[in-house]
Amino acid sequence: MNIETKQQQVEATMRLAAVIPVVIIDDAKHAVPMARALVAGGIPAIEVTLRTPAALDAIRAIAAEVEGAVVGVGTVLTAKDLHAAEQAGARFAVSPGTSPKLLDAAEDSALPLLPGIATASEAMNLLERGYRHLKFFPAVPAGGAKLLGAWASPLPQIRFCPTGGISLQNAADFLGLSNVLCVGGSWLTPADRLQRGDWAGIEQLAREAALLKGVVA
């Protein structure tokens, strides 16, 4: 599968909803009810980060059991991460930054990659390799909506998913930009709600986030 086909798949995932939840999951048994709550609330694309030992089992369970979910893997740092996530059933991968080895591995993998950048130079380097859809991370500390908006004119080919420091309160600042298709955020699956199994509460957070689709430029 060539880079352009994979970029089209990334774009389709980014357009599913205004928000891609960034999930840190400590107990894989929470994965399926959490994902069902998100899908029921109108948020089908879910990024499960590789920050806990339960992550791959969570991805495997969501991929196998949750109809309508498009489960991806986050915090991908190495070729090994990419391969393990693909084997677990992930449909897309997200990295906080990039390295030559990771990009080489992504070219050999069927798993579409949404690579992270924090500067215009990094964005230009990825554009040279065929990447038109990028993660802007950490969005708020790196310059926020003002910086991302300033890139729209000199880098018109690129569309972003800003992540890092984004909440329901400031998401619209990013989603109103012409070069933003969606945002990533951890506020939809807070640790306390996961721990106590508050799936109705997570579904409500998802419903609120899904309404942001009307803000997307």
The torsion angle over the Cα atoms of residues 43, 46, 35 and 215, rounded to 10 degrees, is: -20
Give me the helix-helix angle, 31-40 and 199-210, nearest 10°.
40
For this structure, is 47 an active site residue? yes
DSSP state of 197: T
Whether residue 7 contacts residue 132, with contact meaning beta carbons closer than 8 Å, is answered with: yes
Taking a C-beta distance cutoff of 8 angstroms, is the pair 175, 18 a contact?
Answer: yes
Q: Are 126 and 117 contacting, i.e. CB atoms less than 8 angstroms apart?
A: yes
In whole angstroms, what is the distance from residue 166 CA to residue 47 CA?
Answer: 15
- How far apart are alpha carbons 138 and 91 in whole angstroms? 23
Q: What DSSP character marks residue 180? A: B
Catalytic residue among 4, 47, 86, 208: 47
27 — phi, psi (to 5°)? -130, 115
Give yes or no: 11 in active site.
Answer: no
Strand ranges (DSSP E) for the chain? 19-23, 45-49, 70-74, 92-94, 113-114, 116-117, 133-136, 159-162, 183-185
Of 67, 86, 128, 135, the active-site residue reads: 135
Hey, which residues are catalytic here? 47, 135
